[in-house]
Structure 1
Amino acid sequence: MSQQLPGILLFVSLAIVALALMVWGWRRRARRDAGIAAPTGPARGTRRASFGGLYVATTRHDQPLDRLNVRHLAFRSRVAIAVTDAGVALDMPGEPTVFLDAGRLDGAGRATWTIDRVVEADGLVLVAWTADDGTVCDTYIRLQDGDPDALVAEIERLRTDFASAAMGAEL
């Protein structure tokens, strides 16, 4: 046992250092991203479609390896997605509903990978949106209930309807 003690102490020390570095990194990321906020509030508008799945991550736009520590979107979770005629609602257990109104949506598409998650080709749905501070974010969702192409189509239809209504209001 006395011969194993230095090895055990070395392993425990390395584990403590690794955990401390992870906590330090996450806190540093939280400070870096403190100005980026996910808009919260109840879903508004008439429901067009509902989907269920897993919220995977939020990253900077077109930078799928740069995870953002955005309040209410920091950790993986189950998610219920509702597309309404006013926006997209992400409802996760223990968090307020994140509501991305149609004016914030910059696009939707399919993805195969993001930070620490690789799936079959086009297995993730990517929703691009703009935060209050102007940061464009990509939120990744892995659907379990429903067709990913249907979610992408609903979001794109919502964006088209919003753009048409905005142009009509300008005339």
Structure 2
Amino acid sequence: MTREAAIAVMITIAILIVALGAFGWWRRTRRDRGTSAPFGEAPDSAHELSRFTVLYVATTRHGEPLERLAIRGLGYRSRGTVTVADSGVALDLTGQPRMFFATGRLLDVAQATVAIDRVVERDGLTRLTWRTDDDTIVDSYLRPQDASALALADAVRSILTPTPTGNDA
């Protein structure tokens, strides 16, 4: 095989790989088009409790940290700010409109170690579990930059609405 033929084969393979990746992402966005992030502002009566600079990692199906969702505004890794208020959590990602997760939409917060292609030290990520408008339960993973994942999780945990356990008599 000539050098030119080898280069042509490599270019063809590279184009094929890029095309397959684009096709896969297009299918994923079609699959997830009914799922949306809660874009909007916090209520005027909301009082800010804390603010964190974060690296937004991904949003996945609940309990499936390797299954990325292609939700508009949450499809790609980004830097941002999380504001914890008494009425919910605001997420401001670079280049995206503000998202506000009211306390009634938030289901859980915990720490995690892995999500998609991000592996960090034990419990280095904060996992925010929330319900979408179509009642899909999803997990969004955040990596705090100036604080610990535990500090962010504790701040969110302080505003979560307790769920009844059935043991109250």
Kindly provide the CA deviation profile for residues 86-115 of structure 1, in whole angstroms up to 9, marking residues without a partner as x.
100110111100111000001001111011
Distance 2:29 2:104 in 1: 26
Where has structure 1 moved over 3 Å in runs of 4 or more? none
User: Counterparts of 1:56-71 in structure 2 under 5 Å?
Assistant: 56-71=57-72
Q: 1:154 offset after TM fit, Å?
A: 1.5
Q: How many residues align?
A: 162
Cα deviation for residue 43 of structure 1 reads: 2.7
List aligned pairs for 1:2-151, cutoff 5 A: 3-44=2-43, 45-151=46-152
Give the share of equivalent positions with the same residue, in percent. 43
Task: Measure the CA separation in 2 of the matches of 1:52 and 1:26.
Answer: 28
Q: CA deviation at 1:163?
A: 4.0
Distance (Å, rounded) in 2 between the aligned partners of 1:93 and 1:148? 20
Describe the SS at the equivalent of 2:158. helix
Q: CA deviation at 1:155?
A: 1.1
CA contact (8 A) 2:88 2:103 kept: yes
Bigger proportion of residues as helix: 1
SS in 2 for 1:158: coil
Amino acid at match of 1:8: I
Which letter does structure 2 place at the counterpart of 1:35? Answer: G
CA RMSD of aligned residues (A): 1.5
CA contact (8 A) 2:83 2:89 kept: yes
| TM-score relative to the length of structure 2 | 0.92
Structure 2: runs of 5 or more not aligned: 164-169
Q: 3-state SS of the aligned residue for 2:66? A: strand
Provide Cα deviations, 1:58-107, integer angstroms capped at 9, x if missing partner: 00000011100011111110010000001001101111001110000010
CA contact (8 A) 1:43 1:97 kept: no
The TM-score, its normalising length taken from structure 1, stands at 0.91
Give distance in 2, aligned partners of 1:128 and 1:61: 7
Cα pair 1:36 1:133 within 8 Å, conserved? yes
